[in-house]
Structure 1
Amino acid sequence: MSALVLRQIRWTNVAPLVAFVALLITWNWHPPTFVSILLFALLVAAVLSAVHHAEVVAEKVGEPFGSLVLAVAVTVIEVGLILTLMAGGNSSETLARDTVFAAVMITVNGIIGICLVISSSTDGIARFSARGSTGALATVAALSGICLVLPSYTVSNPNPVFTPSQLAFAGISSLVLYAMFVSAQTGRHRSFFLPVDMKGRTIHTTPANHNPTLRSTIKSLVLLLIGLISVVGLAKLLSHTIELGVTAVGLPNSFVGVIIAFMVLAPETLAAIRAARNDRLQVSLNLALGSATASLGLTIPTLAVAMIWFPGELQLGLSPLQIVLLCLSIVIAILTVLPGRATRLQGGVHLVMLSAFIFLAANP
């Protein structure tokens, strides 16, 4: 058994390093098909290793800090990917909007939906903290409305684009909301974001799988960052192949943002699924809603500053179809989290909404 554990740990240590080396070797190169397949395999390996190291860090720092570490790390890399693609001229003016909107839909519908189904499969009912989840969801709704909906209704610009002053306001508001959310999650109301048992009582202890040392935690944190950089870097490297594939099958160019969001959120999705399997659904909700909050609260301010140097306009406003999907998702999520418990029915509803988003993204 110990030999098996050692092999697993060795594999999770090697995978991100190999992926990172492959990224450095193949950077600024359009790989042929067989190389792209190999790079995709390394991408999957980097995702799986990132999940392992994220769990090590989470066990050391405890909840909700562990979820916050992964959410912020992934979002920083997501911002870097968007800026890299925009600087390279390989993306449309709506890439940031498409990617951020897809991230919100995937987290609010996909991650929450599948985790509810998994968590409720044993006892029929999944329990979580309604106080923390409603606060996080309210932050996501406010950020989505300010950053993605309002640009479609302002009259200063005929396009779904903020003026410079409006974009500055949106960026500052996003930072303020995200800071308030982090303060609530890690400060006085930290207990709102801790897992609960079947009677709704807060669980203050973490599973005693193992207690990572400081040295192993630092190593996992470094390997986590390397793995996340490799994931997003390889996704960027494969983006040209993805664009060609999207065009070949007749999908709209905006679907590239959906694929990028799925790739970037893969580590958090797997971590949330594992938490749900361990009867720690609140950790899954922290990852999902925390990722959506960070994606909006950190990405929009960064892009607002970056547009000082980037030519063109930053189109953040959603289309009417996307606004309807967003509003439906927020309303359904509110009905899900308010009681503090849910069944597979609610999980299935969220997954159907995710399916509707993906289908309509491919067939708008």
Structure 2
Amino acid sequence: MTTLTLRSLITGAALARMALGWGAVGALAVAAPLLAAPTPTPLLLMVLGAIIAVILLCSFGVVHEAEQLARRLGDPYGSLVLTLSIVLIEVVLISAVMLGPGDHGTIARDSVMAVAMIILNGVIGLALLLGGLKHGGLRHNRRGSSAYLAMLLVLLAVAFALPALIGINGSYTAGQQIPVMVLALALYAFFLLRQMGAQADDFTETDTVEPAAATAPKLPIKAVLRRHHREILTRLGLLVVTVLPIVLLSHTMATLLDQGLGRAGAPTALAGMLIAAIVFLPETITTFHAALRGQGQRVSNLCHGALVSTVGLTIPAVLLIGLLTGQTVLLALPPADLMLLAVSLMLTAATFGGKQATAIHGAAHLSLFGIYLLVIFT
């Protein structure tokens, strides 16, 4: 790769976004004493507004790099790059919170539940509504969608339903945690191996998608990596360096959100949902772009793939930390949340069981997301 090509990849806008994101992270670290509770309301609102603005600007940079990688690599590889970049950072930060002072035994349960409802109903619902209104319906690869649903049914049941039945007070015993960790990691690893190998075609757009909307590369993936490895590594580096401040800033603002929502009398669970929504903002924007282009399978890859990765990596990580530190990791969901999760999975099966997902399906998912918000405020 020539110097000119590198300059075309690492643009002034990309450098400005990285500088803005990391500058904001540094500024918050320096200003931490000033933001200690109780933070004056005007200062709290000003800092929250600034953080959200920085996150939005950085998100557009992440989306740009992700879409360029998707065009170069094709799906499912393009979607996996963005999904794993965000999810791995999120898992690391959840683990860091658990390893810090205090009792954080429910952070994995609360975080993954929020992510599940946002992705399965909020993001997918709006994406299908937009795509359905524009294209009449979004065609998807039913074999890939079925594989995602099979993974989600097993992982979510083992994570959030089974502990209430065989565990103690909603937590797995020490003897149960190791088999659960091994099962989750082995299943997820096998899924990734098949998704990137023998069953990769199951996660590509159907033949009915317009050629202009297709993202699959003409060359085999190994040939693409050999020919364009420098460009791919450069864009991957830009994506990670741009997405990391988003996650760091979203978790830094958690304390400020807790204060603000507490003063407003809002439920504390709302803060976790807002944090999850902000962390996955780049993936959300990319999903909407895909829906508007009529790429139904890319919508599934981004959303369902993100949730499979979140559950498949987060649960083993927190169970391992619980074993090493002696913390009790509470995973069993309350009845209302468990019911919503079960209905969400059944609705997902109905939506992606047919050849097309329509605006009606999107409206149903959005309605269920509204019910989730009602449960939070109740």
What is the TM-score of this pair, normalised by structure 1? Answer: 0.89
Does the residue aligned with 1:187 lie in a helix, a strand or coil?
coil
Tell me if structure 2 keeps the 8 A contact 1:62–1:206: yes
The structural deviation recorded for 1:193 is 0.7
Matches within 5 A, 1:86-101: 86-89=98-101, 92-101=104-113
Residue 52 of structure 1 pairs with residue 96 of structure 2 = no
Q: Deviations over 1:318-360 (max 9, x none)?
A: 0110110011001111011111212110111011111111221
Match of 1:218 among 222, 226, 233: 233
- Other-structure match for 2:136: 124
The structural deviation recorded for 1:249 is 2.4
Tell me if structure 2 keeps the 8 A contact 1:127–1:200: no
Which deviates the most, 107-116 or 280-289?
107-116
Residue 259 of structure 1 pairs with residue 269 of structure 2 = no
- Other-structure match for 2:368: 353
- Return the alpha-carbon distance in structure 2 between the equivalents of residues 319 and 35 of structure 1: 34
- Return the alpha-carbon distance in structure 1 between the equivalents of residues 80 and 9 of structure 2: 29
- Other-structure match for 1:301: 316
Residue 184 of structure 1 pairs with residue 199 of structure 2 = no
Match of 2:184 among 171, 174, 197: 174
- Return the alpha-carbon distance in structure 1 between the equivalents of residues 54 and 186 of structure 2: 38
Q: Deviations over 1:172-209 (max 9, x none)?
A: 111122112212211111111101244799957459xx
Match of 1:238 among 241, 244, 253: 253
Match of 1:161 among 171, 188, 193: 171
Gaps of 5+ in 1: 1-5
Residue type matched to 1:26 in 2? L
Instruction: Classify 1:200/1:321 alpha carbon distance in 2 versus 1 (closer, same or farther; 3 Å).
Output: farther
Does the residue aligned with 1:318 lie in a helix, a strand or coil?
coil
- Other-structure match for 1:227: 242
Which deviates the most, 75-84 or 190-199?
190-199
Residue type matched to 2:144 in 1? G
Q: State the aligned residue count.
A: 353
Tell me if structure 2 keeps the 8 A contact 1:128–1:196: yes
- Return the alpha-carbon distance in structure 1 between the equivalents of residues 249 and 232 of structure 2: 25
Instruction: Classify 1:21/1:188 alpha carbon distance in 2 versus 1 (closer, same or farther; 3 Å).
Output: same
The structural deviation recorded for 1:39 is 2.5
The structural deviation recorded for 1:213 is 5.5
The structural deviation recorded for 1:125 is 2.2
Q: Deviations over 1:245-289 (max 9, x none)?
A: 222222333333212211111111111111111221211110100
- Other-structure match for 1:113: 125
Gaps of 5+ in 2: 1-7, 36-42, 219-223
Tell me if structure 1 keeps the 8 A contact 2:9–2:234: no
Instruction: Classify 1:322/1:331 alpha carbon distance in 2 versus 1 (closer, same or farther; 3 Å).
Output: same
What is the TM-score of this pair, normalised by structure 2? Answer: 0.86
Tell me if structure 1 keeps the 8 A contact 2:76–2:196: yes
Residue type matched to 1:72 in 2? L
Residue type matched to 1:17 in 2? A
User: Root-mean-square deviation (CA), in Å?
Assistant: 2.6
- Other-structure match for 2:336: 321
Residue type matched to 1:23 in 2? V
Q: Deviations over 1:219-268 (max 9, x none)?
A: 22112111221011101211110111222222333333212211111111
The structural deviation recorded for 1:137 is 1.1
Q: Deviations over 1:305-324 (max 9, x none)?
A: 22234353111110110110
Instruction: Classify 1:122/1:219 alpha carbon distance in 2 versus 1 (closer, same or farther; 3 Å).
Output: same
Over the matched positions of the two proteins, sequence identity in percent amounts to 27
Match of 1:17 among 7, 16, 19: 19
Instruction: Classify 1:249/1:169 alpha carbon distance in 2 versus 1 (closer, same or farther; 3 Å).
Output: farther
The structural deviation recorded for 1:26 is 2.2
Residue 143 of structure 1 pairs with residue 155 of structure 2 = yes
Instruction: Classify 1:362/1:285 alpha carbon distance in 2 versus 1 (closer, same or farther; 3 Å).
Output: same
Which deviates the most, 18-27 or 266-275?
18-27
- Other-structure match for 1:292: 307
- Other-structure match for 1:336: 351
- Other-structure match for 2:221: none
- Other-structure match for 1:66: 78
- Return the alpha-carbon distance in structure 1 between the equivalents of residues 215 and 98 of structure 2: 44
Tell me if structure 1 keeps the 8 A contact 2:71–2:215: no
- Other-structure match for 1:27: 29
- Return the alpha-carbon distance in structure 2 between the equivalents of residues 205 and 47 of structure 1: 24
Instruction: Classify 1:219/1:7 alpha carbon distance in 2 versus 1 (closer, same or farther; 3 Å).
Output: closer
Residue type matched to 2:74 in 1? G
Structure with the higher fraction of residues in helix conformation:
2
